Amino acid sequence: MSRLTAEHQRLFAASPGGPLPAARDARVRTLVLALHSAADWAALAPLWRGVQADFDWPEPAIAVNGRDAFELWFSLAEPLPRAEAAALLIQLQHRYLGDVRADRVRLWPSADETGAEPPACPPFAAGPERWAAFVTSDLPAVFGDDPALDFEPGADAQADLLARLRSITATPLRRARAALNPAPKPATAAAPAPAAGLRPTEPATAPSTSAAVGRYDDPRDFLRAVMNDPAAPLALRIEAAKALLTPSVPAA
């Protein structure tokens, strides 16, 4: 086994240029988020930096896909059920890419997958003189909106880059899931009804709700909360509604 293959399997359980496992009912230990149309590292970088600063995650791998997107590859030390992994990616997208149009973001795994092929693991040839590869964090800005190498990356250099990366362990993962999906706030006591013939001094106001509040044991509950959250971007609410119409997220 080559060093590069060993590093791929350590982090992503994949071989160079090979796809990730595609079984719909599988647990997964790799999450991929891609930004395309156009590939814009300035828009994606806040997510790369944010998970490290906010949750103490190790840095995600950065890839150019050789065609149209920058990608972030997250490696988990322990696998998550596919539906939970998909919900976690949506939460990260909501937190860090809320100003980015939802149709510019591709997620794997995705809650609304209908037989979509998993991404291939770089490096691989994406076309004539166009290569997908993992890159260091100082390089994405150099690519501009053309996320491809025009030469084959060296296997040893790719292995060296991946050897510096680590998987997300249980404690930082729990920290992130708690922050992205906090426990519900305690209920407040209802105000007493005004006495007969008297008018309240202030109009009653309905408590605000947010899809970010509440702990969800069932991913479908999270998707319903996003769909019904007036503060959430419309595109995310539409994606949540579409996901609920597919059988890919198991019911409780």
pLDDT in tens, 170-223: 999 999 999 998 755 555 555 555 555 544 444 444 443 344 445 566 677 777
Identity of the highest mean pLDDT range in 85-94, 173-182, 234-243: 85-94
185 inside domain: no
- pLDDT at position 13 is 85
pLDDT at 56 over 70: yes
* 3-state SS string for 210-232: CCCCCCCCCHHHHHHHHHCCCCC
- pTM for the model: 0.73
For residue 45, is it within any domain? yes
d(CA 121, CA 154): 15
Instruction: Give the tens place of pLDDT for each residue, 8-17.
Output: 999 998 888 8
CATH number at 40 reads 3.90.920.10
3-state secondary structure of 84: helix
* High-pLDDT (> 70) share of the chain, %: 73
Longest dimension (CA), the chain: 84
Model confidence over 223-234: pLDDT tens digits? 777 777 766 776
Q: CA nearest 167: which of 38, 54, 73, 40?
A: 73
* Residue 55 domain flag: yes
Whole-Å CA distances, 153 to 64, 67, 97, 166: 12, 15, 30, 21
Better-scored residue on pLDDT, 128 or 223: 128
Assigned domain for 125 exists? yes
Q: What is the mean pLDDT of residues 59-68?
A: 96
Residue-number span of the structural domain to which 53 is assigned: 3-178
- Is 35 domain-assigned? yes
More confident residue, 189 or 112: 112
pLDDT above 80 (res 85): yes
Find residue 124's DSSP bridge partners: 132
Instruction: Quote the CA–CA distance of 226 and 86 in Å, as a whole number.
Output: 14
Question: What are the pLDDT digits (tens) for 3-47?
Answer: 999 999 999 988 888 888 765 558 999 999 999 988 899 999 999
Instruction: List the one residue out of 228, 221, 223, 218 whose CA is nearest residue 242.
Output: 223
pLDDT exceeds 60 at position 48: yes
Helix axis angle, 170-180 to 41-55, nearest 10°: 110
Number of structural domains the chain divides into: 1
Residue 246 domain-assigned (yes or no): no
Residue 250's pLDDT is 46
Asked if residue 58 is part of any domain, the answer here is yes
Residues 6+ apart with CB under 8 A from 4: 16, 155, 156, 158, 159, 162
Other beta carbons less than 10 A from residue 250's beta carbon: 12
Within 10 angstroms of residue 23's Cβ, the number of other Cβ atoms is 9
Rounded Cα gap, residues 103 and 14, in angstroms: 27
Residue 29 placed within a domain: yes
pLDDT: which is higher, 140 or 114: 140
DSSP state of 126: E
